[in-house]
Structure 1
Amino acid sequence: MTINPTRRAALAAPLLLGAAACSQEIGERPLRGADTHAAGYPTVQAVDYFGELLSQRTDGRLRLRNYPGGQLGGEGDTLEITMFGGLDVNRVNLAPLNVIEPTTFVPALPFLFSTTDHMRRSLDGEPGRAILETLRPHGLIGLCFYDSGQRSFYNRVRPVRTPEDLRGMKIRVQPSDLYVAMVSALGANPTPIPFGEVYQALVQGVVDGAENNMPSYDDTRHHEVARYYTATGHVMAPEAFVMSRRTWDRLTPADRDLVMECANESVPYMREIWDAREASARQNVIDAGCELIEDVDVEPFRALMAPVWERFIVSDLQQRLVRDIQAME
């Protein structure tokens, strides 16, 4: 990944701090982590739990100081800092990883996973480990995947039951070529804008709708202005928990095993919290009077995704991983 010159100044201070921290031996300082989600979000709780396990099993020699809520910048920025060793661990969405490693497009494919269980088995298994391993040449060690729920469409205009109902709508998407292509294939107009600006964009009519998981729909209060939620579950892309390879290389083999062990144990912990949060968010949305369309036939949506898959799944490795995941359904 090449750093945009306009962002060098913003990155300079954290990188300098990171360089100073890296001059210390592992254990002399806490490991430093970042997450753009707010404190209390399931991924933040999972990373904190990882840190607690690590501290317990090393009698405090290895410990973590996590910075949630985007305190250290957006995911693209903190990912670059992690690659350079200025941060030790980071929880990131797949979108910034798509930029540096095409294999990470695989678990973000629309309608790849049939159910949450299918997604979890695939990412806990060999396909998931193979995808995480592709991050190593980019200065990152993939530790594990966390859930990010089933992404679905919501809007302020009308109920959506078919792709035709989406046609012409301005739908906010992440700044990702894959998401832009997906929404375009459905006949809507993809509009990449920062996540924090979506509520106001919905209020002002800059966009007609967006797509996200149910907890995010609830937490952001988007349901106040976009009251039609269609449970397409079109993407079940996970979020990744990664470590800087520079930090990893300075750990002893025993500590590397321990880091991986603690990361893996944080996954079921996160999922338990996530499942409870999804259930409570769904009830909150119903109580708010939103129209929840859960009996949607997703096959017409899925049928439009063939050109998207063809565009982003081009390498032999990508194609093999897709076949392996489909075989686990």
Structure 2
Amino acid sequence: MLMTTLAGLLASASFATACEITLRSSDTHPDGYPTVEGVKAMAEEVREKTDGRICIEVFPSSQLGEEKDTIEQTQFGVIDMVRASFGSFNDIVPVTQIMSLPYLFTSVEHSHAVLDGPIGEEIAAAFEERDLVALAWYDGGARSFYNSQRPIQSIADLEGMKFRVMQNDVFVDMMDALGANATPMPYGEVYSSIQTGVIDGAENNFPSYDSSGHAEVAKYFTLDEHLIVPELVAMSKTSWDKLTPEDQAILREAAQNSSTLQRELWAAQEQESLDKVTAAGAEVITEIDKTPFIEAMVPVYDKYVTTPENKDLVERIRATQ
């Protein structure tokens, strides 16, 4: 046992010695999660293409802190990289607030088309103004409604129902516009609150609906995809500027390749969760006309999209094919 431990320590020391540059990357999700596996794949490609000169050490499970804390640390160069949701950047990179508006994206594929094109380049430039270099856009799933009472196929079905939402003004206003009642509460209280009738349901993606056990107490899942919030891998500009242009190109290419993998892993995880909850008796409603839901968001957009620049951005996002 002692020999095995010693061998492991020597191997780790040898690996660390071989790295001329070691970049620390943070993620709140556990090892094996699609975002973590995406960055690990990026790390492997970078290591191979630099002959081991540049190593990326991935710290999952919030080992370096929660998202907002690690974003700030990345800005100041305390850590080198972070994987986080656009929602966690709302107070730092204002354009990310627009990307958090309900029904902005018509599908996950639409969000890819937007982020992988000219608009994505504009958003990346906005990150750089905040001392962050956006390297790759990742998927974080589409949030939809689920509840314990009835299938939701129209806005009328939402009337008067109580849904848990995150403590976010946009979410609260969205529910109000749909005729439902928003009930902000900690995520950990959702299961018992649905079970006891304090709320009728909540909203989230399939993997969360599955892993949280919410499918056990709220069997009606309506695939309306009202919120598709992208995620990204961002690097400290301080750390980035220390690299040669050649090494920067290697990191950027590896990050882009990792995005393709991460999206595939996320899609697979969503399908696995969908299969699991339907096998357990959940009813997934897919036949839904989203148009009335989208039209109901006019007052929400009037409140949060106020500048000519943001109005133009929303129009261009909607026009992207």
Deviations 1:114-135 (A, max 9, x none): 2322221111111112112211
Which residue pairs with 1:320 in the alignment? 312
Looking at structure 2, the residues matched to 204 and 34 of structure 1 have their Cα atoms a distance apart, in angstroms, of: 37
Confirm or deny that 1:212 pairs with 2:204.
Answer: yes
Deviations 1:191-213 (A, max 9, x none): 33344443344445454322111
SS of the aligned residue for 2:51 comes to coil
| Unmatched runs of 5 consecutive residues or more in structure 1 | 1-26
Which residue pairs with 1:106 in the alignment? 98
| Unmatched runs of 5 consecutive residues or more in structure 2 | 1-18
Confirm or deny that 1:192 pairs with 2:187.
Answer: no
Q: Is the 8 A contact 2:87 2:229 kept in 1?
A: no
User: TM-score, normalized by length of structure 1?
Assistant: 0.85
In structure 2, the CA distance between the partners of 1:249 and 1:180, relative to structure 1 (3 Å rule), is farther
Looking at structure 1, the residues matched to 62 and 268 of structure 2 have their Cα atoms a distance apart, in angstroms, of: 24
SS of the aligned residue for 1:30 comes to strand
The partner residue of 2:224 within 222, 229, 232 is 232
The partner residue of 1:304 within 296, 299, 318 is 296
Confirm or deny that 1:124 pairs with 2:116.
Answer: yes
Looking at CA atoms only, which structure, 1 or 2, has the larger radius of gyration?
2
Which residue pairs with 2:46 in the alignment? 54
The partner residue of 2:125 within 133, 140, 152 is 133
Looking at structure 2, the residues matched to 175 and 246 of structure 1 have their Cα atoms a distance apart, in angstroms, of: 33
Looking at structure 2, the residues matched to 197 and 77 of structure 1 have their Cα atoms a distance apart, in angstroms, of: 24
Kindly tell me the number of residue pairs found equivalent between the two proteins.
303
- Percentage identity across paired residues of the two chains: 43
In structure 2, the CA distance between the partners of 1:215 and 1:246, relative to structure 1 (3 Å rule), is same
Confirm or deny that 1:96 pairs with 2:88.
Answer: yes
Q: Is the 8 A contact 2:26 2:64 kept in 1?
A: yes
In structure 2, the CA distance between the partners of 1:55 and 1:93, relative to structure 1 (3 Å rule), is same
Looking at structure 2, the residues matched to 72 and 195 of structure 1 have their Cα atoms a distance apart, in angstroms, of: 22
Looking at structure 2, the residues matched to 238 and 205 of structure 1 have their Cα atoms a distance apart, in angstroms, of: 32
SS of the aligned residue for 2:62 comes to coil
Which residue pairs with 1:280 in the alignment? 272
After the TM superposition, which residues 25-174 of structure 1 pair with which residues of structure 2 at under 5 Å, given as runs?
Answer: 28=20, 30-174=22-166
Looking at structure 2, the residues matched to 177 and 60 of structure 1 have their Cα atoms a distance apart, in angstroms, of: 46
The partner residue of 1:264 within 256, 264, 281 is 256
Q: Which moved more, 1:260-269 or 1:313-322?
A: 313-322
